[in-house]
Amino acid sequence: MDKFMKVANEEAKKNKEQNFKNGGPFGAVIVKNNKIIAKAHNTVLQDNDPTAHAEINAIRKAGNILKSYDLSDCILYTSCYPCPMCLSAIIWSNIKTVYYGNTKEDAANIGFKDDYIYSIINNANSYLNLKNIDRNETIKLFEEFSKSPTLY
């Protein structure tokens, strides 16, 4: 077994020790220059944080440790294919290589809706009430931003 995937899988197993009361069976590791920068598991239930998936937790830790939101030189290992939230976070972080173990179909088979979210994300009005209001006011800040020098 790949040595880093083994660590990601061990992270996932940490929630088993608590009978999955702290979160689901998911773990992730971020590696840079062949060294582990951060490892994490799902803590949604423990932290009352629906965003606290393994990959998000690992990205947040790595950013904090490397003092950068840009993780370009990092590789992510995750015990399961990232959900759309985590996949987008990976893209925002500039990570380019991801190794995953279980598939999103495997996640669906144990009751997680990753696969479903992928299926509706570009048609979200079929699932959410998404309503556009007050753009005439909110657009003003975007217009100011586009004129500002920024590091973003």
Q: Considering only residues 107 through 136, tell me which ones interact with its own copies, judged by CB under 8 A.
A: 107, 109-111, 113, 117-118, 121-122, 124, 127-135
H/E element holding 141? helix 135-147
d(CA 23, CA 53): 8
d(CA 142, CA 133): 15
Nearest-approach distance from CB 24 to its own copies, in angstroms: 6
Q: Is 59 exposed, middle or buried (0-12, 13-18, 19+ CB in 10 A)?
A: buried
Q: What are phi and psi of 37, to 5 degrees?
A: -90, -40
Nearest-approach distance from CB 145 to its own copies, in angstroms: 4
Report the site for its own copies in 1-30 (rule: CB under 8 A).
1-2, 5-6, 8-9, 12-13, 16, 19-21, 23-25
- Print the binding letters for residues 75-114 with its own copies: x by CB under 8 A, - otherwise: ----xxx-xxxxxxxxxxxxxxxxxxxxx--xx-xxx-x-
The binder of its own copies chosen from 17, 47, 54, 73 (CB under 8 A):
47
The binder of its own copies chosen from 17, 35, 126, 144 (CB under 8 A):
144
User: Is 55 one of the catalytic residues?
Assistant: yes
- Under rule CB under 8 A, residue 36 binds its own copies: no
